[in-house]
Structure 1
């Protein structure tokens, strides 16, 4: 158990947490801006205190022992709490802050939502810096834990023990094909789609349920075209007799910039539930709480309904 006043300080706990997360004394020393001997010395004190080696070396790095596995979540919570106490000691003043707000977003969210978010942040925190990296679903929780990002705007859901999810909007999907496609009507049947070739877009963007549905539809046949993101889908559609299923706003964007058209899907598809994901903390972080409020407020102006029940067929055909 982690017990207050046990004779070791926050620096030792931070060292343990960073070594646990990086599985490396070298990487931990870089992250903490201290020497490798300093990290090793801190680990030796912790090992003596807990009467356990805590980490064992293997071919890939340092492997935590069962004792270390049990200590990690308690130490993380203790650090969160102390950091929050320090942050709360100074009132957060958005108009004066020079803080860097770090977000993860997909290329899709950047195209659709970032202009609203950045405008709202700069209006209230003109001296703040905004840094965006592309969403990596596999690393999101770790990056939140390590305070490498403040939040992520994405469709996937994550562990409720680690992440707080604020629902931002529902985004339905629409079919898209070349405007001159010779066979697909504005309301094709399932049989019509099965007879056509489709374009697959990477599931790493958080739309895995779309690909699962389409894979089932086509009998698990691999599609002839697979793309890493949506950036050239419209150009690919215009050059082929293919179709793709994309979020509605993207279909509208494609129609404006390329010779493609939308069509209504002949099956039910769960909409993408777009959320803002932030770290679940023992005590709130004032800058992150401010960011949560600003993002939610900014997207009220987004020109699509917030909830799936407010859409009708005109959104998919016009």
Structure 2
């Protein structure tokens, strides 16, 4: 495709790529932190430069044309190479750095992993800031590749050659119950587990293996609560007779603030692997490489 590229700059390339990814002027403006008229004006210039509509309105979204589909991987690749060349050349001194790192975590991940990570950061890089964003498993790969996050910690396996995966922790699932439970004390048989009422986790961040195994074993349980976050779980379990299944590390953290007991899960269950995902080192900045290694060391030291 031969196109005369007069007055074409990197900002136009970035705007095109964000428009392609977000499929709308409003969302692109939010991502770019620009006004909608500015993005619309840039789109007008892009259409003139490429002599193509590039994006056509279809319902709530703007669908890319064939030309836009052809341009995106080339322009995005160019932006990525420029960004990588720039950040890799910047030295990083942890003690004086004022960088902000973004880590994606589930709420149970915050409970289990933030304390050791923050202890390590406060010792080694006291001026940096850590921004923790809610974990969205389906968006992890794109977020890391696009630079919306520096790292993510999760248990579901992400199969992609775009990221590097390091297992940072192995954990096991356990049952938590109120320490004052009238029927459950110290031990828990399969039959007793099936008879009790249950709290089921329904989020996309994983932790559904115990439920799947119980279903396969034909255990007919009665769910009294289905929730997607762990924050209220210790209090609810303590104040009711319901049982819940959580990773052991999280259970031990919960016991510090609530009167709970921890019991083995009554069915054979494989160990849970918690992994750190980030870009391959060759594509990371020096600061990102340092941060990834800090997280690995902080979590392996526990």
Match of 2:105 in 1: 105
Are the equivalent residues in 2 in contact too, given 1:198–1:244 (CA < 8 A)?
A: yes
Q: Verify: 1:300 aligned to 2:297, yes or no.
A: no
Deviates more, 1:149-158 or 1:24-33: 24-33
Gaps of 5+ in 1: 303-318
Match of 2:61 in 1: 61
Match of 1:308 in 2: none
Are the equivalent residues in 2 in contact too, given 1:238–1:260 (CA < 8 A)?
A: yes
Q: Verify: 1:265 aligned to 2:265, yes or no.
A: yes
Are the equivalent residues in 2 in contact too, given 1:255–1:261 (CA < 8 A)?
A: yes
CA distance in 2, matches of 1:292, 1:300: 12
Match of 1:193 in 2: 193
The secondary structure found in structure 2 opposite 1:126 is coil
Cα deviation digits, residues 204-229 of structure 1 (max 9, x gap): 33223333334445667661211232
Query: Aligned pair in 2 of structure 1 residues 59, 191: CA closer, same or farther (>3 Å)?
Result: same
Match of 2:173 in 1: 173
CA distance in 2, matches of 1:289, 1:12: 29
Alignment RMSD (CA, Å)? 3.0
Task: Give how far 1:57 is off.
Answer: 0.6
CA distance in 2, matches of 1:122, 1:135: 23
Are the equivalent residues in 1 in contact too, given 2:169–2:300 (CA < 8 A)?
A: no
Query: Aligned pair in 2 of structure 1 residues 159, 24: CA closer, same or farther (>3 Å)?
Result: farther
Q: Give the number of aligned pairs.
A: 301
Query: Aligned pair in 2 of structure 1 residues 183, 101: CA closer, same or farther (>3 Å)?
Result: same
The secondary structure found in structure 2 opposite 1:153 is strand
Query: Aligned pair in 2 of structure 1 residues 50, 221: CA closer, same or farther (>3 Å)?
Result: farther
Are the equivalent residues in 1 in contact too, given 2:198–2:221 (CA < 8 A)?
A: no
Give me the TM-score of the superposition, normalised by structure 1: 0.81
Gaps of 5+ in 2: none
The secondary structure found in structure 2 opposite 1:245 is strand
Cα deviation digits, residues 94-132 of structure 1 (max 9, x gap): 222211111121221222121211121232222212211
